[in-house]
Amino acid sequence: MFTAFMFSRYYTYMGSNRMKILYKCTFLLAAIGFLMYIIRSKSRPQLAPSILSSENLANKDKNNNNTSFNNVAGLEEIKEELQETIDFINNSNKYRRMGARIPQGVLFYGPPGTGKTLLAKAVAGETKSTFLYASGSEFVEKYVGVGAKRVRTLFEKAKKEAPSIIFIDEIDAIGTRRNMDSNNEKDQTLNQLLVEMDGFNTDETIIVIGATNRLDLLDEALLRPGRFDRHIYVGNPNMKAREQILEVHTKNKPLDNTVNILDIAKKTHGLSGADLANIANEAAIIAVRNDRPRVSIDHFNAAIERVLAGLEIKNPTVLLKEKRTVSVHEAGHALVSKILKIDMVQKISIVPRGQTLGYVLRFPEDDRYLLTKQELMDKISAFLAGRAAEELIFNEITTGAKDDLDKATDLARKMVCDYGMGSLGHMAMDESYVKHNYDIIRVEIENLLDKGYQSALKILRENRDILNHISNTLMEEETIDSHQLDKIFETYKKPIDYAT
């Protein structure tokens, strides 16, 4: 935004007379000087712990927070999930009358730039609550007790201005698992946070929203009921969501008719909402710099290139090539899981998520404690179905199945060594037995894996039309939910019932 402003200034000066230029230049220099001063004083190392004007700890944002769910594009399921929290705040009395405790902690997790902060702000906007922003790293101090005191101050402020939303970004900075070589200051800070969350007076409506990229690092105490007990994954957008996000961020920009938002959405597979906002802004800056009255597709293409160059992600053209492989791979998992009725397939996605390029989200149909040998074999087939689909369609396999192989092998090993389900008899094998007979055991494991793989391949071959349909839909839409998947199956004649 700042850069765009500078450029437009520059162009308006071109036609003015000299005095005016001189005058305005002085003004501009003064402005730049002032800005530099602000930036430097912000980054200046602090000698003593800055005690605790709550103003600089958390920005109060009550009166000028106009953010609402309209500013958040895509993420429909998450907005729906947050409706409940919003209702808790807006109608807190209704819940209190029933004696219900208002749940106070929501944790957003997922990659950066996906709209976690934006969502928290929107919840505050939708409920007209005070929005208090803090970053976990602000609480990390060398001096014992300082972080804890900051936490206390933050919550006091929230209570005073309730209803409020406390948003703690990068909560992992204070909330990582406590361990043996613990750090006294950090533990105190985390403890204080726990104390504050437990100690809410039931008359005050305060919701704490935490955000992290690393849910796995958080201390379990933080995740317990009554604290951050709602966990919501906020991931990178699929194509439709990318289109909507681009629409939000180009609403205030004059576009010429070469620009097709959907095409841009198609080209930006794997990018986050923040990347897209950045692209829209860069495109506008480039248009200004080229002295054009409207933003054109060329400006967008240049902006995409520039934003991607600054990102440490793979080249998008590589991503596009891989997209086809990932679609087939995930379609394979989904098809075999569904036909073997292993779990309920909830969602298939080829939107990259952390290190994974695609995934099939499955939920068990019901709680199971005992599994039959056949069911375990079916699970192995489902694990290996991604690779089998690659072989069937491309006659070539990739490194993408690494995790699947780990899981399948682990399961096969358990079947042989722990469950007595190989051909070595009903014997549990202890470690030393395994060590001394590893050659026989390995053959057993290989046999199970091969059997599972072959049956996956057979299912895929016999249902190749469905496989193609699923993978093509994934290429087009990037995610498929359980209803869409059911529809695809209905389109074809009833698949052979393989489950026993």
Which residues are known to be catalytic?
330
264 binds ligand ADP (CB under 6 A): no
Residue 353, beta-bridge partner list? 356
Candidates 70-78, 82-90, 183-191, 472-480: pick the segment binding ligand ADP (CB under 6 A): 70-78
113 binds ligand ADP (CB under 6 A): yes
114 binds ligand ADP (CB under 6 A): yes
Of residues 280 and 459, the one with the C-beta less far from ligand ADP? 280
Tell which residue, 268, 261, 249, 262, has the closest CA to residue 313. 268
| Residue whose C-beta lies closest to Zn ion | 386
235 binds ligand ADP (CB under 6 A): no
Of residues 71 and 447, the one with the C-beta less far from ligand ADP? 71
- State how far the Cα of 136 lies from the Cα of 173, in Å rounded to an integer: 5
Q: Which of Zn ion, ligand ADP, none binds 338 (CB below 5-8 Å, type-dependent)?
A: none
* CB contact set of 197 (below 8 Å; sequence gap of 6+): 104, 105, 208, 226, 227
- State how far the Cα of 35 lies from the Cα of 29, in Å rounded to an integer: 10
Of residues 164 and 337, the one with the C-beta less far from Zn ion? 337
Give the shortest CB-454-to-Zn ion separation in angstroms.
17
How many residues of this chain bind Zn ion (CB under 5 A)? 2
Cα diameter, the chain: 98
Of residues 237 and 386, the one with the C-beta less far from Zn ion? 386
- State how far the Cα of 150 lies from the Cα of 168, in Å rounded to an integer: 12
452 binds Zn ion (CB under 5 A): no
Please answer whether residues 128 and 138 qualify as being in contact, where contact means their C-beta atoms are separated by less than 8 angstroms: no
Give the shortest CB-214-to-ligand ADP separation in angstroms.
13
| Residue whose C-beta lies closest to ligand ADP | 273
4 binds ligand ADP (CB under 6 A): no
- State how far the Cα of 377 lies from the Cα of 385, in Å rounded to an integer: 12
Using CA atoms, how far residue 199 sits from 162, 194, 229, in Å, is 15, 8, 16
> 58, 73, 307, 393: which one contacts ligand ADP (CB under 6 A)?
73
Give, as ranges, the residues between 199 and 258 that touch Zn ion (CB under 5 A).
Answer: none
* CB contact set of 273 (below 8 Å; sequence gap of 6+): 73, 74, 113, 114, 115, 118, 236, 237, 245
> 85, 117, 236, 296: which one contacts ligand ADP (CB under 6 A)?
117
> 58, 72, 360, 457: which one contacts ligand ADP (CB under 6 A)?
72
Of residues 73 and 336, the one with the C-beta less far from ligand ADP? 73
Q: Say how many Å lie between the first and final Cα of the chain, rounded.
A: 62
Tell which residue, 140, 202, 197, has the closest CA to residue 166. 197
270 binds ligand ADP (CB under 6 A): no
Candidates 47-55, 72-80, 291-299, 348-356: pick the segment binding ligand ADP (CB under 6 A): 72-80
Give the shortest CB-248-to-ligand ADP separation in angstroms.
5
Candidates 4-12, 108-116, 368-376, 488-496: pick the segment binding ligand ADP (CB under 6 A): 108-116
Q: Which of ligand ADP, Zn ion, none binds 386 (CB below 5-8 Å, type-dependent)?
A: Zn ion
Give the shortest CB-244-to-ligand ADP separation in angstroms.
7
Say how far residue 62 (Cα) sits from the centre of its chain: 27
Of residues 107 and 411, the one with the C-beta less far from Zn ion? 411
The encoded tokens of residue 423 equal: 């051909």
307 binds ligand ADP (CB under 6 A): no
Please answer whether residues 112 and 172 qualify as being in contact, where contact means their C-beta atoms are separated by less than 8 angstroms: no
Looking only at the bridges linking them, the beta strands covering 228-233 and 105-109 are: parallel
- State how far the Cα of 23 lies from the Cα of 159, in Å rounded to an integer: 49
Per-residue b or e along 225-248, where b marks 16 or more CB atoms closer than 10 Å to that residue's CB? eebbebebebbbbbbbbbbbbbeb
Give, as ranges, the residues between 346 and 405 that touch Zn ion (CB under 5 A).
Answer: 386, 404
Of residues 115 and 422, the one with the C-beta less far from ligand ADP? 115
Instruction: List contacts with ligand ADP (CB under 6 A).
Output: 72-75, 112-118, 211, 245, 248, 273-274, 277
Instruction: List contacts with Zn ion (CB under 5 A).
Output: 386, 404
